[in-house]
Amino acid sequence: MSSNRQASAASPWRAPILFAALAVLFLLEGTVRNGLFSGSWNTALAILNMGLISAITALGVNMQWGYAGLFNTGVVGFLAIGGLAPVLVSLPPVQGAWDAGGPRLIGALLAGLGTLALAKIVYTRTGRIWAMALVLLAGLVAYRWLFDPAVLAIEANDSARTGNIGGLGLPVLLSWIVGGAFAAAAAWGVGKVALGLRSDYLAIATLGIGEIIVAVLRNENWLARGVMNVTSIPRPVPYEIDLQQNPAFVDFAARWGFGAAEASGIWVKLCYMSLFLVVLLGIILLAELALKSPWGRMMRAIRDNETAAEAMGKDVTARHLQIFVLGSAVIGIAGAMMITLDGLMAPNSYNPLRYTFLIWVMVIVGGSGNNWGSVLGAVLIWFLWIKAEVWGPNLIGALVGPLPEGDIKAHLLGSAPHMRFIAMGLVLLLVLRFAPRGLVPER
Amino acid sequence: MSDQDAVFGHRGNRDRSVVNPKGRGSIDGTRRSGSVGMGQAGDPFLIGEGMTGGYGKGADILHDCTIAVERGQIAVIVGPNGAGKSTAMKAIFGMLTLRKGSVRLDGRDITALNPQDRVKAGMGFVPQVNNIFPSMTVEENLEMGAYIRGDDIRRTMEQVYELFPAVAAKRRQAAGELSGGQRQQVAVGRALMTQPSVLMLDEPTAGVSPIVMDELFDRIIAIARGGLPVLMVEQNAKQAMMIADKAYVLVQGANAHTGTGHELMQNDEVRRTFLGG
Amino acid sequence: MDILNALVAFLNFVFIPAAAYGAQLALGALGVTLIYAILRFSNFAHGDTMAFGTAITILVTWGLQSWGVSLGPLPTALLALPVGIAATAALVLGTDRAVYRFYRAQRAAPIIFVMASVGVMFVMNGLTRLLIGVDEYRFDDGARFIIAVRDFREWSGLAEGLALRSTQALTLVVTVIVCAALFWFLNRTKSGKAMRAYSDNEDLALLSGIDPERVVRLTWIIAAGLATIAGTLYGLDKSFKAFNYFQILLPIFAAAIVGGLGNPVGAIAGGFLVAFSEVAVTYPWVKVAGYLFPGWQPGGLLQLLGTEYKFAVSFVILIVVLLFRPTGLFRGKSV
Amino acid sequence: EEIKMGMSLGFTGPLESMAPGMAAGAEMAMKEVSDSGLLLDGSTIVPVQGDSTCIDAAAATATVERLITAEGVKGIVGGMCSGEAIASLQNVAVPNGVVMISPSATSPALSTIEDQGLFFRTSPSDARQGEVMAEIMMEKGIKTAAVTYTNNDYGKGLADAFAAAFTAKGGTVTVNSAHDDGKADYSAEVAALAAAGGDALVVAGYVDQGGSGVVRAALDTGAFDTFVFPDGMVGQALVDNFGAEIDGSFGQNPAAEGEGREKFLEMAKTAGFDGTSAYSAEAYDAAALMLLSMAAAKSSDPNVWKNNVMDVANAPGEKILPGELAKGLEILNGGGDIDYVGASSIEMVGAGETAGVYREVAFDNGEMTVVGYR
Amino acid sequence: MIRVEDLHRHFGGFHAVDGASLTIETGSITGLIGPNGAGKSTLFNVIAGVLPPTSGRVFMDNEDITGLPPHTLFHKGLLRTFQLAHEFSSMTVRENLMMVPGAQSGETIWKTWLQRGRIWREEAELRRRADEVLDFLTIRHLAHEKAGNLSGGQKKLLELGRTMMVDAKVVFLDEVGAGVNRTLLMTIADAIIRLNRERGYTFCVIEHDMDFIGKLCDPVIVMAEGKVLAQGSAADIMKNEAVIEAYLGTGLKNKDMVGA
Ligand SMILES: Nc1ncnc2c1ncn2[C@@H]1O[C@H](COP(=O)(O)OP(=O)(O)OP(=O)(O)O)[C@@H](O)[C@H]1O
Ligand SMILES: Nc1ncnc2c1ncn2[C@@H]1O[C@H](COP(=O)(O)OP(=O)(O)OP(=O)(O)O)[C@@H](O)[C@H]1O
Ligand SMILES: [Mg+2]
Ligand SMILES: [Mg+2]
């Protein structure tokens, strides 16, 4: 079996060496200017920051897949629902929205949840489907009766600029935790329903659920303005403009030989980076502690052979639910962090290719089941994803250089942006080729 | 796998999936065969001589192990668990690469052939585990046994059904839904369908009931006496020794004792330590 | 009460479009399911394989059209299809050789195959765009309608119209033929059984004398054929746009899975289930109800959910189906 | 001097078929200025493309980050979609003090964003168009209409604005529902629209996206005969796609009275691309505006020339059409004043967006004819 | 200990278990034999909660346990092995054993963050116990091997070893002997007897090796076609005509062709 072959080939130095190589890539990106690298610290740090967020997302996916073998393809949904938190927590309240329909809206949501709970109780107590259906129907009517007017009123409230319920005006950092909680709550509901399914069937269920969550975010304007986007979400770090106007900072930058604009960009990104690193390392610490104890052993056993694990007294369903919720919470935290970094909530941008499958690529390339692997894979793949934008066209430029001028050359040069995909695909295939079990395989 | 299947039946597809890839093989089907060499004078029909090797890059499991079977005879391999019996069978069948030694069949050196080509060269094999096509019907399983045959297979199939009436009744049922013993019968039936020039069986009687075991041994004797050499691994050692023309005791990948079945049965030490009293 | 009008409205807006769309999904899902059953991974590159095959077919179609070749009422693309299939088969065989074969020899985990297929998807994606660009192309010629709305109204005197495009009919017919052929092939022929055997237990297939590489090749060729046919029919019916072929991948997967992965009949059923749930659940029944119960003036549109949620709806249906039948409508691979 | 100008457009992603036309438009303006040799003592303009992906804010931000901090561009034509444009503007362009002029981001949110005077757009905000469209329909005697919009801020904004205006004028919107771009099938949407009914169908989408799919399905099923097309739909592609099938339909798009657009189309033809492709003209104008503003400010520093954009775009001054950039540069170099009209009749108002004159078109006998302007 | 009342389990139209009623006395080692496909494994699976019964009841110590999930039954003291070994193939042999005991504090996620010391002590104890079991099964040298790489027979041993990691009340063994060396099998028989005598485990054993059954079991229950065919002491059963006809057979017919 190949498994033992590669495992034995992996030396303990593998991970440090790869991380060092990655660091060198970023150093080059920050300092060297050529066809491959941009030589700007701002670019390098910007890529790194998004890479760190991807790393946290990848950690969440790795918990679900690497530890427990749950194939969650609804990552985009949990990211999105986490992203809702900064909007609802940190945005200033919208004038008049609450009065227009707030209490009624809360009532509607409570009625909705109450109906579901009641339906469940009725079903378990009586075991009659029609009774449950009746409760659901009645609940639905009550819910719509409360919900629709409230939504209309809220959306009518200054609809061009707001039209949503607004936020609570709390610090945005708080929203990271709330984002995790949102995603965890959603995952709990999803898990209760869908975790009876396995593997590919679970995959398609979660894929659908991800789509549903995004569809809700896109179409429920009262919540976060839907496709109209929410902008200017507060930041936990200073604004560049303020820094540029702060003489002390300008002096400080000049001492290091940077212009104010450049330095302010770097400074802000460094601030973000520290915040992200704290979260990332905290999550890794907790994850590693859990993984390197009987809990981790139990999870591996469940992943290996559910039937046997069940026969050995492990409650497989409960454990699956636990890990699904934990992993999703981590993804939700990442979602909230991403919105904080972007300063923008744009539900249309949540597309599964980018936010589900690219994350999966990160986990697998890094080496599933290994936390450090996921981090490595995430930062690396994100780096490549961004750099492919430049490398692709440069590649085709180099390739068609010797061709004679003419239609074909013009056509190829015109299609150069699409080399982004080819470049990305080739890189991905190459990495998988040379490390078929991931860069840092599970030990 | 009847006891697994039951679980998956109502909870979803787990075995054949990204999560738990059971159907995946362990043999590299892309490997090409090397050339066939000459055999040595006075060789038995099939011989794996001085075989040394192991799985992948791992440590050696076989150490200079020699197994042979003559035309018309039954050779039995016994030994403690993990002695390397299955490994020796796999080595003879080309399913792991040998570091030393050679395999010769019917006057040719086939050490470099890949398993597919050994099948074409006339070898038939029933592995110890994973030896049926679970989602295909019993009948299709038997048909797959006759995959390389071009002639009419109905006659042989009838013979197999006669031998195993229990599976004949289930010929339209998916083999994965059978009981453990029934699956074993299908697996042996599949190999019989091949009409090979040498038959290799890895614990054919594991899990089958005494009455079926007797039938099976009867059949094996008949086959062997018909000229087809049979090489098998057995844990039901007492019964197996009774019918063995040649018996090998393997211990830790090396030949420990060799002789006729009768001789080994007489050998007290062998009987006590390996054959269960 | 006006049953005829209600029926025609239903046929025109729900049944026929959903059936054609369902058939397109089903054809795509067949390819996905086949790869899944035999090579054991979810092939994310399938959408882009479809796009590539269609692009080649279109290029050849243009060539044929410029020579003045046509098929009368049928689209010229049908003539170009074999070339498209051949080129696509060559491409996927090349991909297999360059990418997947390595992992097969390594006995890599299926998830690695899936990720490799994502890589292949990216490459094919770019390749198709290099080949034909990102624009939208229509390449249907021949007769557009079998039944046109206006003609139908005149002929029947009904208030409602009925349209049946030739591409819709073609899609349905081809789907039936392809499915029957595939089914026959897998269950009756020796090669088909060899493919199933390989999918069940690779090692044992090998020990039965089945050449695994031949099975793999055959699978890819069939998959390429299915992809090209599906892609071309889809393009004929709607239009060709490279980007859309990635988008169609999700409903295709949904169809393959809800039908029971690895089961061709399931793929067909799944395709129709997805299509009908998308169209029927979001259909406002007000018009049909108006014909059936004249005089009744419902307040709203009698729409269960807005079309914004159509994809969500079909997924909810899928999940419900899966909860009651966890291996899909038709028992998928489960051993 | 070599001046680098960035373009952050969605070359890959859902609107990938629109990006090349926009890039071609912008590059044409840059080439025109380069060739004239009149900008800042004969500076040449080097266009630098960046792929904003249209939907991935993070990728767009990284792209603009690269354009600005690594390539050192002096202005950016882009972003293409509102969300991505906002993210890259706020996170990169504003902190670095670089001007972005978007040809196609129409979200109202961009009007009020804190941009330090660094953001402009050459496409009008949607509110006005809704008004115009409702007016035209009323005049044609259309009292009920179904509306379908592409599910993004452009589509939704426009559809809502239209619905408000139309209702205010006494019309009825039977249904106002979204369609997603790049989807496999639009039967469900069309079935819903048909069931709601109406005298006409307003398609607030993109011609090379879902908009065409909806129209196609509506025509085939006979659900609607008359369509109303706003700016995202009006274009040669519409005629190519549907020919005589949409006879009797009409629409409007922002375009100046006069020969601006025609001239642009001609130039595009000579340059070898399709000038009618969506937002291509706006992209030309965006690029031209930036370069003219540099000339007016006599500096390529965006923090300086950002203050000249409004002047250059608006009266007083000589009117400048496409192809006359050299003339404009000469005037500006001589200290004169110009009023850039360009291909899409630029008139900047308020927070740096165009007021928009609309051209009314009708479709007859398989052709698109200009009916008038309002 | 275990009482099964009129149990049915159907697969489609096929009645795998067709009205079986039997009792397993506390403290006994009950043998369960029968032809292939008699429904023995199916019966086990129903009792162990892996399969829901079509109809019928299962009681354990007079408590109705029908349809309880396997992990609940485990905690009630009901353990089972699988006919086809279900090892945790990517874990080491020792880990396979150490994961078995329930109620490990290290299996609660927050305790892994806060109670490292306690977990460490528990682990040391578990490792000791696992090594004892490995010694007994003669596979101590494989402690660090991945379970997936074991030989067929070794996997069966591991399967048995797991039941020795905890104090069970009743253990169901599904063909522990198939593929296990006969000498070792007799040692296993001794172990089962010891567990039975010293720790009071109740056993129910499916096996086709009549030497093993004869040495170990009393009473022996014979199943055929989903029903109980006979029940009695091993010696009685081996004399029973019906059992001989359906199951035991009369030995080799081609004996004379041997040894030529
Ligand atoms: N999932 C299933 N679907 C259909 N039939 C099944 C299924 N599982 C088992 N059977 C049938 O039920 C019968 C009993 O099977 P079971 O595995 O209980 O036999 P057994 O007594 O354990 O036999 P063995 O000694 O060979 O293990 C068999 O005939 C088998 O074909
Ligand atoms: N795939 C594998 N990779 C590595 N080691 C293996 C593999 N399969 C078996 N082994 C090791 O090789 C040794 C011999 O195994 P083999 O299967 O040949 O034993 P066996 O004699 O057939 O035993 P049994 O009677 O239990 O079937 C065992 O110690 C086992 O751990
Ligand atoms: Mg063995
Ligand atoms: Mg059994």
Q: Do chains C and B touch (3 or more CB pairs under 8 A)?
A: yes
Does the CA dihedral A396-A397-A398-A401 come out positive or negative? positive
Report CB contact under 8 Å: D87, A342: yes
Question: Which helix (H) or strand (E) segment is E2 a member of?
Answer: strand E2-11
Cis-peptide into D79, omega within 30 deg: yes
- Answer whether E47's CB lies under 8 Å from E172's CB: yes
Other residues' Cβ atoms within 10 Å of the Cβ of residue C237: 22
Report whether residue E83 contacts ligand 1, using a CB cutoff of 6 Å.
Answer: yes
* Locus of tokens 């010229």: C76
Q: What angle do CA E208, E213, E215 make, to 5 degrees?
A: 145
Over residues D86-115, the mean pLDDT reads: 84
Chain D residues in contact with A342 by the CB 8 A cut-off are 57-58, 61, 87, 91
DSSP E strands: which ranges in chain C?
Answer: 145-147, 164-165
- Answer whether A318's CB lies under 8 Å from D24's CB: no
Report CB contact under 8 Å: B206, E178: yes
Residues D262 and D265: their CA atoms lie apart, in Å, by 5
Q: Name the 3-class secondary structure at B158.
A: helix
Ligand 2 centroid – CA B85 distance (Å):
8
Q: What angle do CA B249, B254, B257 make, to 5 degrees?
A: 30
- Answer whether D309's CB lies under 8 Å from D331's CB: no
User: Which chains, if any, share at least 3 CB pairs under 8 A with chain E?
Assistant: A, B
Report pLDDT for D256: 61
Structural class in CATH, domain E2-87+167-258: alpha beta
Asked whether residue A401 carries a pLDDT value surpassing 70, the answer given is yes
Residue C208 CA to its chain's centroid (Å): 34
Over residues A95-105, the mean pLDDT reads: 79
Q: What is the pLDDT of residues B130-178, one digit of tens each?
A: 888 888 889 999 999 888 888 888 888 998 888 888 888 888 888 888 8
- Answer whether C26's CB lies under 8 Å from C255's CB: yes
Q: What is the pLDDT of residues C35-80, one digit of tens each?
A: 888 888 888 899 999 999 999 999 999 999 898 888 778 888 888 9
DSSP symbol at C186: H
| Six-digit token string for D178 | 């979204």
Structural domain boundaries in chain C? 17-247
DSSP symbol at E244: I
Largest CA distance in chain B: 59
Report pLDDT for D258: 63
Report whether residue B4 contacts ligand 1, using a CB cutoff of 6 Å.
Answer: no
Give this prediction's pTM. Answer: 0.89
Report pLDDT for C297: 66
DSSP symbol at A92: P
| Six-digit token string for A349 | 């941008």
For residue D137, what are the contacts with CB-CB under 8 A and spacing of at least 6? D145, D166, D171, D200, D228
**Least Cα separation, residue A368 to chain C (angstroms):** 10
Q: What amino acid is encoded at A360 in this protein?
A: W
Report CB contact under 8 Å: E185, B277: no
Pairing relationship of beta strands D338-340 and D318-320 according to DSSP bridges: parallel
Report pLDDT for B8: 31
- Answer whether C151's CB lies under 8 Å from C164's CB: no
Report CB contact under 8 Å: A4, B58: yes
Chain C residues in contact with A425 by the CB 8 A cut-off are 118-126
CB-defined site of ligand 2, < 6 Å: A 1; B 55, 58, 61, 79, 81-87, 128; E 145, 149-154, 179
Ligand 1 centroid – CA E173 distance (Å):
16
CATH topology of domain B32-122+197-205+228-276: Rossmann fold (3.40.50)
Nearest atom of ligand 2 to the alpha carbon of E151:
17
Report pLDDT for D220: 85
Distances (CA, A) of C85 to C64, C78, C220, C230, C233: 16, 11, 11, 11, 13
Nearest alpha-carbon partner for A351 in A86, A74, A83, A85: A74
DSSP E strands: which ranges in A287-391?
Answer: 344-345
Over residues A232-251, the mean pLDDT reads: 88
Residues E108 and E105: their CA atoms lie apart, in Å, by 6
| Six-digit token string for C259 | 């039908």
Residue having the nearest C-alpha atom to atom 2 of ligand 2: E149
Q: Residue A409 burial (CB < 10 Å; 0-12/13-18/19+)?
A: middle
- Answer whether D190's CB lies under 8 Å from D218's CB: yes
| Six-digit token string for C76 | 């010229």
Q: Name the 3-class secondary structure at A136.
A: helix
Report CB contact under 8 Å: E36, B225: no
Nearest atom of ligand 2 to the alpha carbon of E156:
26
DSSP E strands: which ranges in chain B?
Answer: 37-38, 46-53, 62-69, 74-78, 98-105, 108-109, 123-126, 198-202, 230-233, 246-251, 254-259
Q: Which residue of C has its CA nearest to B142?
A: C208
Pairing relationship of beta strands B46-53 and B62-69 according to DSSP bridges: antiparallel
Residues C239 and D212: their CA atoms lie apart, in Å, by 10
Report CB contact under 8 Å: A212, C316: yes
Report CB contact under 8 Å: A437, C108: yes
Q: What is the pLDDT of residues D338-358, one digit of tens each?
A: 888 888 778 777 766 676 678
The answer to whether A417 contacts chain D (CB < 8 Å) is yes
Q: Do chains B and E touch (3 or more CB pairs under 8 A)?
A: yes
Report pLDDT for A4: 37
| Six-digit token string for B143 | 């048909």
**Least Cα separation, residue A350 to chain B (angstroms):** 25
- Answer whether A179's CB lies under 8 Å from A86's CB: yes
Report whether residue E40 contacts ligand 1, using a CB cutoff of 6 Å.
Answer: yes
- Listed in sequence order, the DSSP H helices in B42-129 are 85-92, 115-120
Residues B105 and B96: their CA atoms lie apart, in Å, by 17
Residue having the nearest C-alpha atom to atom 3 of ligand 2: E149
As beta bridge partners, residue D148 has: D177, D203
| Six-digit token string for A119 | 């339906």
Residues C114 and C120: their CA atoms lie apart, in Å, by 10
Of B15, B24, B115, the CB nearest to C207: B115
Pocket test for ligand 2, best of E138, E142, E150, E184 (most atoms within 8 A of CB): E150
User: Which chains, if any, share at least 3 CB pairs under 8 A with chain C?
Assistant: A, B, D
Residue having the nearest C-alpha atom to atom 30 of ligand 1: B178
Asked whether residue C335 carries a pLDDT value surpassing 60, the answer given is no
- Answer whether A293's CB lies under 8 Å from A311's CB: no
Residues E255 and E11: their CA atoms lie apart, in Å, by 39
Chain D residues in contact with A39 by the CB 8 A cut-off are 70
| Six-digit token string for B218 | 């009867």
- Answer whether A352's CB lies under 8 Å from A359's CB: no
- Answer whether A71's CB lies under 8 Å from A200's CB: yes
Flag whether the ipTM exceeds 0.90: no
Ligand 2 centroid – CA E182 distance (Å):
17
- Using N-to-C axis directions, what is the helix angle for B138-145 and B180-193, rounded to 10°? 30
The answer to whether E250 contacts chain B (CB < 8 Å) is yes
Report whether residue B210 contacts ligand 1, using a CB cutoff of 6 Å.
Answer: no
Instruction: Find the ligand nearest to B134 CA.
Output: 1
Structural domain boundaries in chain E? 2-87+167-258, 88-149
Residues A28 and D236: their CA atoms lie apart, in Å, by 47
**Least Cα separation, residue D97 to chain C (angstroms):** 34
Q: What angle do CA E38, E44, E48 make, to 5 degrees?
A: 160
Q: What is the pLDDT of residues E4-54, one digit of tens each?
A: 999 999 887 888 899 899 999 999 999 999 888 888 988 988 998 888 899
Report CB contact under 8 Å: C108, A2: yes
Ligand 2 centroid – CA B235 distance (Å):
15
Nearest atom of ligand 1 to the alpha carbon of B181:
26
Residues A46 and C35: their CA atoms lie apart, in Å, by 40
Q: Name the 3-class secondary structure at C129.
A: helix
Residues E150 and D354: their CA atoms lie apart, in Å, by 76
Nearest alpha-carbon partner for D177 in A261, C310, E24: C310
Tell me the average pLDDT of chain A. Answer: 85
Structural domain boundaries in chain B? 32-122+197-205+228-276
Q: What amino acid is encoded at E137 in this protein?
A: L
DSSP symbol at E28: -
Residues E132 and B137: their CA atoms lie apart, in Å, by 44
Which contacts (CB < 8 Å, 24+ apart) does range E111-117 have? E112/A289, E112/A290, E112/A293, E112/A294, E112/A295, E112/A296, E113/A286, E113/A289, E113/A290, E116/A289, E116/A293
Asked whether residue B24 carries a pLDDT value surpassing 70, the answer given is no
Q: Which residue of E has its CA nearest to A312?
A: E100
Distances (CA, A) of C203 to A82, C198, E67: 46, 8, 37
Largest CA distance in chain C: 73
More confident residue, D81 or C19: C19
Residue having the nearest C-alpha atom to atom 28 of ligand 2: B82
Ligand 2 centroid – CA B88 distance (Å):
10
Question: Which helix (H) or strand (E) segment is D363 a member of?
Answer: strand D358-364
DSSP symbol at D92: I
Report whether residue B6 contacts ligand 1, using a CB cutoff of 6 Å.
Answer: yes
Report CB contact under 8 Å: B18, C211: no
DSSP string, C288-333: HHHHHSTT---SS---SS-GGGHHHHHHHHHHHHHHHSTTTTTT--
Asked whether residue B59 carries a pLDDT value surpassing 90, the answer given is no
For chain E, positions 182-241, list CB contacts with chain B under 8 A.
Answer: 182-186, 208-211
Report CB contact under 8 Å: E123, A294: yes
User: Which chains, if any, share at least 3 CB pairs under 8 A with chain A?
Assistant: B, C, D, E
* Locus of tokens 């034995």: A8
Ligand 2 centroid – CA E193 distance (Å):
28
Q: What is the pLDDT of residues B163-222, one digit of tens each?
A: 888 888 888 888 888 888 888 889 888 988 888 889 999 988 888 888 888 888 888 888
Label residue B9 by pLDDT band (50, 70, 90). very low
Pocket test for ligand 1, best of B182, B209, B212, B216 (most atoms within 8 A of CB): B182
What proportion of chain D, given as a percentage, has pLDDT over 70?
A: 97
